[in-house]
Chain A
Amino acid sequence: MTATTTDTTAGKTGQDSAKAGAVPSFTVTLKIARFNPETDTEAHWETYQVTSHATDRVLDALHQIKWDQDGSLSFRRSCAHGVCGSDAMRINGKNRLACKTLIKDVNPDKPITVEPIKGLPVEKDLIVDMEPFFDAYREVMPFLITNGNEPTRERIQSQADRDRFDDTTKCILCAACTTSCPVFWNDGQYFGPAAIVNAHRFIFDTRDEGGAQRLEILNDKEGVWRCRTTFNCTDACPRGIQVTQAIQEVKRALLTSRF
C-alpha cells in the first residue's frame, strides 16, 4: 500500500499506472437478470458498470455491485474459491462458477450477461430453488452401502480400484451440469448428470455393495437412457469431470448386468 502512494504521481487507479507488474484495469458492463418475487411477474435485465482488474473474477464484479451500487442484488456464494459450489450461474450463456471465471476470459469488451442457472425455479435474482436437484441426488443413495459386519479396521482398496471412480469424486454439487442439460430443462424429471455422477462414484467403488440397487434406480424411465450425449454437462463442469463418459459407463454397466 505504501508503495503505491509514494511510487508515482498519478497511479491512484490502475488505469494510468505504467508501473511494472501493475494489474491493468478496465470498465466492464454487466447485464444481470433480476427478479424480485414480491414485485415482479417475470425477470428483467439490469445493466451495471464496474471497474475491474484483469485478475478479477465475475464474482468480484457482483460483489462490487452488491456492496457499492445496489444492495438488493441477490446471489449465492460461500467459499468464493471454487470448492463449495454455491455460485453456479449462467455467464454469457454458459454455466460456470462466478468465482472461477475471470472477467478477462469472458470478453469484457461486450456486456457480460449473468443469469440464474436454467431449469430450476428462480427464487430471487440469481438464486434458484435447488430442492429438485437435491431430490434427484438423494434418490441415487449417495452413501456407502455395505452388508455384513463392519471390519475392525479401514476397508482396504487398491490404488487401481480407487482410480476407477476418482473422476466422479470431484463433484461439488453446484448443479452447473444438470442445469446445462436440455433434457433436464424440459420438465425437470430427468435425474440429471449430477445425480448420475454421484451414483457412478459408488457404483464403481469396490467397497460399496449397493451398486445393483443404484443401477436399478438409474434404469428408470427418467434415468440414464434419457441422456442424448450432447456433452453440455461435460463442458459446463467447473471441476472438469468427464460427466458424459460417466453416464455412458453407467449405461454400459446396466447393459452388461443384463446380457
Chain B
Amino acid sequence: MSATTETNYHAGPDAVSAKKSRYRRVSKGRGNFELWSWVFMRASGILLLVLIFGHLFVNLMLGEGIHGIDFAFVAGKWSSPFWQTWDMLMLWLAELHGFNGVRTIINDYTEKDRTRWILKGLLVASALLVMVLGTLVIFTFDPCLDPSSTLSVCAR
C-alpha cells in the first residue's frame, strides 16, 4: 500500500508535473488589445449588416435589379465618392472582421506556438493582400481601360 501512496508520478511519460508541462501558466499578456478586438467585432458586425444589406438592395433590387449589373453599372457606381467610400468601408470591415474571427479560431485551436505563428503570419499576409489590392482597385479604377469602350464618360 505504501507503494501507492508514495507513487512518484513524475515517472510516467504522460504524468509530468504541471510545473514542467505545457499546462504551466505563462501568460502575462496585459493591455487592452483583446478588449478592443472584442468591441470591434461587435461594432463592425452591426455596421456590416447595414453596409451589406444596403449594397445588396442597391445592386439587386433598385432599377433593373440583377439584370442591370454589368461593367458599366460598376463603373457608374465607382465614379461617385459615396460608393467608393461605401465599398471601401465594406471591404475593410469585412476583411478585418473575418481576420479577427480567424485569428480567434487559430488561438483557440492551435496547440504549439510555432503553428500559431505560422498560421497567423499567413492570415496577416492574406488580409493585407486583399485590403491593399481591393483599395487600389476602388480608387484607381479606370472606366475607360478598354480603348474601344462605348461608355459615355469615355467619349472623346
Contact = CB atoms under 8 A, between A and B. Distances in A.
B146 interface: no
Interface string A145-184: 0000000000000000000000000000000000000110
B14 A221 contact: no
B14 to A, nearest CB: 6
A134 to B, nearest CB: 10
A255 B25 contact: no
Nearest to A39: B12
Given A132-B25, A221-B29, A255 B18 contact: no
A254 B15 contact: no
A139 B25 CA distance: 10
B148 interface: no
Contact of A188 (B7, B25, B34): B25
A11 B21 CA distance: 54
Interface string B20-31: 011111111111
Contacts of A35: 12, 14-15
B21 to A, nearest CB: 6
B33 interface: yes
B111 A225 contact: no
> Would you call the interface of chain B mostly helix, strand, loop, or mixed?
loop
Interface in B1-46: 4, 7-19, 21-35, 37-39
Given A35-B14, A121-B21, A123-B9, A222 B4 contact: no
A189 interface: yes
A38 interface: yes
A237 interface: no
B11 A37 contact: yes
B26 A223 contact: no
Interface residues of B, number: 37
B9 A255 contact: no
B71 interface: no
A124 B6 CA distance: 12
- Interface-centre pick from A72, A183, A222 (highest chain B CB count, 10 A): A222
Contacts of B18: 120-121, 129, 131-132
A12 interface: no
Nearest to A131: B18
Contacts of B23: 120-121, 129, 132, 188
B108 A183 contact: yes
Question: Which 10 pairs from chain A and chain B are nearest by CB?
Answer: A37-B12, A221-B29, A37-B15, A225-B34, A222-B27, A132-B23, A131-B18, A188-B23, A129-B18, A123-B9
Given A132-B18, A222-B27, 10 more contacts: A35-B14, A36-B12, A121-B17, A121-B18, A123-B15, A124-B9, A131-B18, A219-B35, A225-B34, A254-B35
Interface of A: 35-43, 72, 74, 120-124, 129, 131-132, 135-136, 139, 182-183, 186-189, 216, 219-223, 225-226, 228, 251, 254-255, 258
21 contacts: A35-B12, A37-B14, A37-B15, A74-B4, A121-B15, A123-B9, A124-B9, A129-B18, A129-B23, A131-B19, A182-B108, A183-B108, A188-B23, A216-B30, A220-B27, A221-B33, A222-B27, A226-B107, A228-B108, A251-B38, A258-B32
Interface of B: 4, 7-19, 21-35, 37-39, 107-111
